[in-house]
Structure formats: C-alpha cells, structure tokens
A and B are shown apart, each in its own frame.
Chain A
Amino acid sequence: MRVPIEWLREYVDVTASPEALAHRLTMAGLEVEAVEHEEGEPVLNVKVTPNRGDCLSMVGVAREVAAIYNLPLRHPMPAARTAEPGEAAQVAKVEILDEDLCPRYAARVVRNVRIAPSPDWMQRRLLAAGMRPINNVVDVTNYVMLEMGQPLHAFDLDLLPNGHIVVRRAKPGEKITTLDGIERDLQPDMLMICDATHPVAVAGVMGGSETEVTPGTRNVLLESAHFNPTSIRRTSQRLQLSTEASYRFERVVDPSGVVAALDRACELLSQIGAGEPLSGVVDVYPRPASERIVTLRPERCNLLLGLNLDVPTMVDCLRRLQLKAELHDGVIHVTVPTFRPDLNIEEDLAEEVGRVYGYENIPERLPFGHTHRGGDSPNTRLIRPLQEAFVRAGLIEVHTHTLRAPGPLDDPHRTPVRVRNAASEELSTLRNSLIPSLVDVVVHNLARRQTEIFLFEVGAVFAQLPNGEYEETLKAGFALTGSVFPPGWDARYPAADFFSAKGVVQTLLEAVGVAEAEYQLLTDPRFHPGRSARVLAGGREAGIFGELHPDVLEQLDITRRTVLAGEFDVHTLWSLATRRVRYVPLPKYPAVLRDLSIITPEDVPYQTVERTVKQAGGTLLESVKLFDVYRGERIPEGTRSLALSLTFRSPERTLTDEEVDAVVAHIVRALEEIGARLRA
C-alpha cells in the first residue's frame, strides 16, 4: 500500500525523516519496501502481511506509527455522527438475507448530487496513494477507503427501484455486468447486492454498471458493509476479479467502523459541495461483533520473548497500540478492539509487546539443556556416495525440473502423475524418470555449442500405482555425449560409447559395493536394441543404461551424435550391496602371469567366457583381464579372438610353472566346452 507521508501526518505528528520512519516501521513488522517520491512528496510503499488488514489504511498505518514513536493518534472523527435511521430510512431499505456472509450492511443517502471532478487536494492524495481520480462521488468513497480502510460503494439511487437493497446469494443463472464492462456468470454461493429483483453489485468486489454513478446522477445511495472474508476471497478468485475493495475485505475490515466511514464520506461530500446528505443511516447489524478479552501472563510473555520486562513496560507497549490493558491478579487483561481480529491468544499479545519494545532488543542465546546429536537424513546417506561416485567418474551434477510435459523418453513402465491445476503442458506431469530431463539438458547445451556433456542427477521421480496411490522413488541417472577424454590441442579421442557408460555404471556399483553384476540386453523403445543393458545383481534389476535409440534422438533433433543414458533405483542399488571392505594382507608371494588368446563364436558373450575361466581357474586364479578383442581376416568369419591376461598366485607359496600349466590346461578344456579354442 502506498502511504503519502503528508497524508499520514494528518493523524500523527511524526517528524522523523521518511527513511528513518521506513526503517522503524519495517522493524516493527510493517515492511516498507521502498520510499518513493510523488511530485517531490515522499510516499512509503508498505507491504502489509495478510493478518494485518487493519493496516490497509492511513489511519491504520498512523496507529502503528503512533505506537512506535509513542505519539497521540488523531482519528478523522466526523463532526456529525449518525446512529438514528432519520430521513434515510424513508428513501432506502436494506434487507440482509444471508447474515453469515454479510453481518452488517449500512447505507446513507445523498441528495442533489452534482457530479464534477473532486478538488485538487483530494485528487493529489488519491494519485499519490496510487488511485486514479474519477469524479467527486467516487473519489470520496475511495478517499475514505484509503483513509479508514472501509471500502464504500456509491449507487445511483434513482436506478434502484424503491431504494430497496437486498443482500443475498446469487440465484442459478444470474448474471451481472460489472463496472469494468464485463458480463459475469454468477455462481449460487456468491454474495450479491441486489435490488428487488436482480444483482446490482458483486458484494465487496465490484459494483454493477447498471447502477453506476454517472454525470447524470442526482441521488446517491452510499453502501458501507462488513462481509465474510472467505466468501469475498472465493468470489474474487472465481471471477478472477481482484479490487482494492476485495483485497481489504479478504483481510478483514473492522465491523465497528462501518457507519463512521459513511459519516466521514457524507462529511467530505458536503464539504466539497458534491451533494447534500440526508440525516440518518440505515444500519442492519443483526449480530454485532463484541470486543474480546485476551490475557497475558507477564512471566509467559518474558519466557516467549526471552526478555525480562516489568509489567508497566508490557502494559505501556499494549496501550500504545490503542489496546486497553489492565492488570488484575498479576495477569494483564487486554480488551481487543474489533479492528484487531488477529489478536486472539496470549502469544499474539506477546508478539505485540515484542514488536513495540523492539525485536532488536531481544538478546541472542544458544539453547541449552538436552544434548542433541545431529546427523544427515537416511536418504542423504544413500545419495551422497552416489553423487561422489559420479563426480569421480568425471560427471557434472544437474538439478532438473520435476514438472514437465510427457515425452518420448518417459519411463514406459510407470504411469505418470498428472498435475490437476497445471497452467501449461510444460508443467502438466511429474517426471517418472530422470532420463528425459537429463536429455533435455543435453539438448540445451548442444544448442549452446557445448560438445562435452557428461551429466548426472540424483532425485525423486513419481508414478501413479494401479491402486491409485502415488509413488515417490529416488533415482540416480546420467547422460553422456562427447569424447572419452576432453579434446585438447594435440589429440583426438574416440566418442563415448556404450562401454564408456558401462564404466560409469561400474563406478556406481563399486561405490555402493555391488560386487557381481550381470548385464542383459534391454528391450526398451527408448534405447538402441543392441547397445543397452539391464543391470542385475542377486537376480534383481538395479537399473538400465545404454545408447539412446536413434529414432528418439531424431525426434529431439540430435543427429550425428551418440547419446548414452542410464537410470538406477537408489534404494534397490543399496539393497544389492554385498561387498564389505575388509583388510586383506598384501600378497607375500610373486604372481605368475599367463596370456591366453582364444577364438570364440560371436554369440558366446564375454561374460560366459570370463565366468568359465574363473570357475576352472579355482583359487589359484587371482584375476582375469581382457586386453584385446579382434575380428578380421586372420580368423574365421563369425568368430572373434579374445586375448586374456591371467594372474595366478597362492597366498602360501611361490607357484611352480608346472602347477600353473596344469590350471591353464584345465581352463582351456573348460573353454573348449563352450565352443572356444586356443588361437594358434
């Protein structure tokens, strides 16, 4: 809200500089976002928290200023206060059919209206406060709203048959054309101000154009009412129509100020010669709001604030806020006026004391007493080693969007969770896999001429289960494209391929301690059918990875490039861990190395070869390492040659050549059984 300081000074004699005032207000909870200048006049731009509807007016802000600086507050009390129905009751009649949504409705009547521009001083203040001057009648209603916080509305009385106002909910099918010229369909739970037959205003939100005050208006009915905040909020949201009035009504307007605002408006209208108010007010107030008593125990106040204030200080703080505070039996009884609906419990009062006393005066203290042991969360303990493994493998971490449009790279086995109120397709589902967003990042970077893209992410993905429930799962994913090593000025390295991705997978598996993993060809439309794998351990699937299908890449406009991607389930990965690190003494005896070159049919997987060698090699075989794969003219078509380096060692003695020869011979025989033979 914009608060011109010159206007504010009408209610409180504050002499501080605008900057100092802005600081003190901010420190008391009424945040001044900026001090602006309107034609040289300083204007505070105040951000009012949703619980402080009472500060959405000049008087409201002045009340805070008076409390902060301990100054008297001057209310804009109109000279003539109205309580009796008087003449007004003869011209206007108000009927509230829905007391829950409208606890109070009051009206006054102004005769012989002469519509004209309002005086300069009023126009200037309205402009400084951010409102556009319209004409004297409308300006006065706005002026009083800004001054006292009570929205008012002016109807052309001659367009209201018999001056009859009925406050009720809309009937099915009813419509209204609001002042902005838009015809609006009304819902049955929206509160309307109606004449005898149909709506003439959306209560608390906007008037209708039918009864609008125009240059031809001669008589005016002024409305001042108290509406249910929730009802106004819903109506305003449903109609997508937010106004200065609805903004205030949503944040609670003081029900006790309803008539005072009418009186003030009438006073101003006669003062500027815009019309002649009739005596009396039509005030329908079936269930008047009452003042509450809230108590504050001084010791509780000090406990909450961490202060050591005496009772007179507390009482003084509260009184400065225009609250009645009295000490009875050691407890402070506070009478809360209707303009402060936010004060309901002891803690609310402690906050008021603290605010006025100053939060900056609260000391800093570290809590003592119980000893607490802090620690990382269970999931963090699983995620962090994976992040570190990926970093060791040379990948860069990304954080991608959870919300996204469905796409060809989504996990086909997981039903996506849909967002019910998504504004756009891009935000319509929750990711069911990390791969699509990782590939998005690849695309984004390729478009920015980045060629070396090695990425990972660990995060939550979602799925809708067949029983309608939702599942949130932690996944670890990666995507790669580029050369095996970053290209420099003197060397070209081959492009990352399936086996580069497998290297990343290996690093990941080692990080969690999955000792033995099995790789099976993957059938998944997102991946190259011959260059992708399911990774199993202990018979369970831990994840998948491989080259993305060229069709998918084409859809993403990635051509002439191999992109690898993979995704692992974090909890499954950890549940498959078998290896525990244990100290094994370093070998005492020398190793014996033997190279073995064999030819196998193409369809014998390497995994089978290695397993056969290990089984036949027994305990003396320490390790098997593949160091060459050859296909070509020197061996028969349909076969490949594998060169293996075998390391033999005994923990107890130096092995003899004869012993090793015997084991190698055994290995060769075993290999022959799977169709392999020694290469000559």
Chain B
Amino acid sequence: MEERIRTLLEEATQAILSASNTAELETVEIRYLGRKGQVTELLRALPTLSPEERPRFGQLLNSVKAQLQTQIDQRRAELQRKEREQRLRAERVDITLPPRPLRVGLKHPLTQTMERVRAALIGLGFEFVDSPELDDYRYNFAALNYPDDHPAMDEQMSFYISDTRLLRTQTTSVQGRIMEKRKPPFRIAVIGRCFRNETVDATHHHTFHQVDAFMVDRGISMADLKGVLAAFARQMFGEDVQVRFRPDFFPFVEPGVDYAIYWQGGWLELGGAGLIHPNILRAHGIDPEEWTGFAFGLGIERIPMIQYQIDDLRLFLENDLRFLQKYGA
C-alpha cells in the first residue's frame, strides 16, 4: 500500500509538472483529486484496511492529497501567468496604425480671436455691449461727426437698406447709442460684424469684424489712450510687443491716431484711435471741458492674419473645413 501511494505521488507530481496548460492541469487534477480520482479512490478504500493500518494510511493519503493540491495550485498560478502573457503577446496591435478618430468640435478662428480680445478688454475694465448690424445712418455717420459728402466716406461705401438704414460700416456706430443713454464715466466696448460695399480681394472684404472700445472720464488724454492700447496689444501679442502711434485722420476723433505693432521685422497697422471729438461729446450733452475720452478700433481678422501669417482675408468666411480645422481652440 505504502509503495502504491508513493508511486502515485511520484506519478501525479510528474503529471502536474508536465501539464503544459491550465486545461491539461485540470485533467490531471480530476485524474488524481477528482471525485473519481486516484487519491480519492484510495481514500475511499481506507475502510477496507485493518483498524491498525487505517490511521497511518489515512494520514499519509491526506498529506499526499494536500501536497498534490499545493503543487497543482502553484502550477496553475504559474500556467495562468504564462497563458496571460501569451494572450497579451497575441493581442499585440500595430501601434503605428492611425488613431480611431473622434468627432471634435471647434470654434471658428474669428470666435477664438474675439474671445481673446474680449478677455483682454474686460481685464482693462471695459464693459461689452450689443449693437445692431443693421443700423441707423445717423449712428453710423452723422453721430460720428461725418459731414455730408465728406471724402472720408469714400472709404466707407455702405450697403443701404433705405434712406436711414444701412449695414453698419464700423462698430464705432455704438458710440452715439451709448452716449444717448449713459452719463460718463464709462468704458464701453463692442465687437461684431461690419460691412463695406467694396470689391472683394485678398485684403478687402464686404464683410468683416471689428472691435471698438471707448472711454470717457475726467482728464483722459492721449497718454491714457497710448497706455491702454499698449496694454491691450501686449495681452494680444505678447509682453515684448512694441506699439507705435502716429497721427491719422478719422472724423470722430481729434487728435487722431493710427497704431501699429512691430511684428517680424516691420510695423503692422492694427487700427485707428484718438480722443473722442468734442462735437460728439457735446452733441450728447457731455461737456468736453469736464470730460474727455478716447476711442479705438481694430479689425478682428487682422489679428489671426498676423499671428498665423494668413495672407487671404477671404478664407475666414469661405469656411473650408481644412482651413478651420487648423485652428483648434
């Protein structure tokens, strides 16, 4: 009996070690420890032994059973590890294949720019207001000190709807609307679409976007205008950007200014500015002796054109997806 058990242990140990996968091991386990397994059979045969032999063989068999179970568990763990490794190896993919694309939404580059402009001006204390695109002639021209038939309006050929209504040619048209309603001090800004009846080419469009900001307060001077514009330009184009002022003419400011930044080896004009013309203040019951103010405006398209070196204004309204997708927010 003892001999038989020892042989069985050797045999089983051999079988456990030579099982090359968990399924084979399973079979081995069943063969020896299963309900009809060889160790189980021997245990079942214990009652046929003499009462003296019973405890000894009983102990021996149980310890063999425990030994085998430990061996099987160890082997199983080992095989499972190997099998998982194998599976993971088999699951290897060509990681250089292209990604599975996601549907990614994006804001238009002009929207992205307008958000940056707004953030910069809000930081300087400007309150944004809304103003209609289809505006009154008087807000667009008359309230801005344009005399009738002034040659300045050459640059402002407009789309007229009626004698009194037109598509605004500049966001500056908001000035009169605000001054009618509010008393200084104020800092106001408006951003949006403008229209000019112009032939479309790479640098001109009948539809474009502008931001206009103006403030009226006590003692506002050209130095304040310069300071605010410089701060704005630094926020938009980086701390090191240089800002240049030079005289220019716009009917709604006096003195008038053109401002430019130094960008990649040259001066790039950004927009027009100046001290709000006293006629405009006076027309709205604001005493120019007590209050002065400045206004400035710039084209939104100009900013991404400078930053990304886009040379064709038309791209912004053409909406070619290949263009839009380049400027992820």
Contact = CB atoms under 8 A, between A and B. Distances in A.
A362 B222 contact: yes
B255 A421 contact: no
A425 interface: no
B324 A398 contact: yes
Interface in A346-378: 347-348, 350-351, 354-355, 359-360, 362-367, 369-378
Interface in B136-170: 148-152, 154, 159-162, 165, 167
A487 B101 CA distance: 7
Nearest to A449: B322
Given A367-B215, A376-B128, A391 B249 contact: no
A488 B98 contact: yes
A403 B159 CA distance: 10
A365 B224 contact: yes
B195 A402 contact: yes
Interface stretch (A44-52, A116-124, A517-525, A667-675): A44-52
A490 B292 CA distance: 67
Nearest to A496: B103
B255 A489 contact: no
A488 B249 contact: no
B325 interface: yes
B97 interface: yes
B225 to A, nearest CB: 8
A418 B322 CA distance: 33
Binding site of B, secondary structure by majority: helix, strand, loop or mixed?
A: mixed
Contact of B249 (A52, A397, A444): A52
Contacts of B125: 371-374
B30 interface: no
A306 B325 CA distance: 45
Given A402-B193, A444-B319, A375 B222 contact: no
Interface string A191-218: 0000000000000000000000000000
Interface residues on B, range: 35 or more
A370 B255 contact: no
A354 B105 contact: no
A370 B293 CA distance: 14
| Of listed B98, B106, B224, B255, residue having the most chain A CB within 10 A | B255
A349 to B, nearest CB: 10
Nearest to A384: B115
A430 B195 CA distance: 12
Interface in A1-42: 26-29, 31
Interface string B237-252: 0000000111111000
B55 interface: no
Contacts of B111: 387, 397, 399
B2 interface: no
B69 interface: no
Contacts of B126: 372, 374
A648 interface: no
Interface string A387-415: 10011111111111111000000000000
The number of chain A residues touching the other chain, given as a range, is 35 or more
Contact of B134 (A29, A377, A417): A417
Contacts of A489: 97-98
A388 to B, nearest CB: 8
Q: Which of B98, B103, B249 has the most CB of A within 10 A?
A: B103
A350 B221 CA distance: 11
B105 A391 contact: yes
A396 B255 contact: no
B326 to A, nearest CB: 11
A21 to B, nearest CB: 15
Nearest to A394: B103
30 contacts: A27-B246, A27-B247, A29-B246, A229-B151, A230-B149, A304-B275, A305-B255, A306-B223, A306-B224, A347-B278, A351-B247, A351-B256, A363-B226, A364-B223, A373-B125, A376-B122, A379-B130, A397-B106, A399-B108, A399-B111, A400-B317, A400-B319, A402-B167, A420-B162, A430-B134, A444-B319, A448-B320, A455-B319, A460-B193, A485-B103
Interface of B: 97-108, 110-111, 118, 121-130, 132-134, 148-152, 154, 159-162, 165, 167, 185-187, 189-190, 193, 195, 197, 206-207, 215, 217-224, 226-228, 230-231, 244-249, 254-258, 275, 277-278, 292, 316-322, 324-325, 329
Given A359-B247, A375-B122, 12 more contacts: A31-B248, A303-B221, A351-B247, A354-B247, A355-B255, A365-B226, A391-B106, A398-B319, A402-B193, A444-B319, A470-B161, A490-B100
